[in-house]
Amino acid sequence: MALLYGIGIWCFLDMAVGKRRYPPAYYRYREKHPAVTIRVTKDLKALLDSYRVSLGNLSYGKAIKKLLEEKADLMRLKAELEEAKKRSYEDGFTEALQMFIVNPKGFYNRLMERARSQGLKHFEPALFTAPCSICKEPIIFTHRDGNWLKGIRPDLLEAFKEWYHVWCKKSK
């Protein structure tokens, strides 16, 4: 009898091997909406149940979707905050460089305030350049150099021992 009906043959053969045929829309839907199955502990299930109730008895699927959407929103917000943090750091750094270029004495005063606030009582910041005698590119000396205290600083103090503030000369 199945042989006499054209469509029935396919259904009969599919059922014979245990397969069920679905319309193409079913497969498209499943491709766009994949199923996820999870196992949780009793504690997590109780937590999920209380979350579902707080949202008005949503289904497990809808409650988990809501949690995932909230998590995605938080992840986006975190990324935005990280980007803002990076931008503000760069802006602050650029502002400090600009202050050093335009108002080095003001920069120095702010630097010393910051050092004192961190408990550095005898901090002497240094940034000094001199041209290389061979290539004429600047040699950069700073307070962070390993030989600053025993080599560079004493040499600078000796070289500048006759120098003074203009107001100090007047008061002498």
pLDDT in tens, 12-45: 555 556 688 999 999 999 999 988 888 999 999 9
pLDDT band at 172, cuts 50/70/90?
Answer: low
- The tens digit of pLDDT for each residue in 82-119 reads 999 999 999 999 999 999 999 999 999 999 999 999 99
Residues 6+ apart with CB under 8 A from 51: 63, 67
Q: What is the pLDDT of residue 112?
A: 94
Domain boundaries, the chain: 6-83, 126-172
CA distance 17 to 10: 11
Has residue 11 got a pLDDT over 60?
Answer: no
In single-letter form, the type of residue at position 22 comes to Y
pTM, full prediction? 0.53
CA distance 165 to 171: 10
Q: What is the pLDDT of residue 122?
A: 86
- The tens digit of pLDDT for each residue in 46-80 reads 999 999 999 999 999 899 999 999 999 999 999 99
Has residue 154 got a pLDDT over 60?
Answer: yes
Q: What is the pLDDT of residue 2?
A: 46
CA distance 86 to 79: 11
CA distance 75 to 81: 10
> Do residues 123 and 106 touch, judged by C-beta distance below 8 A?
no
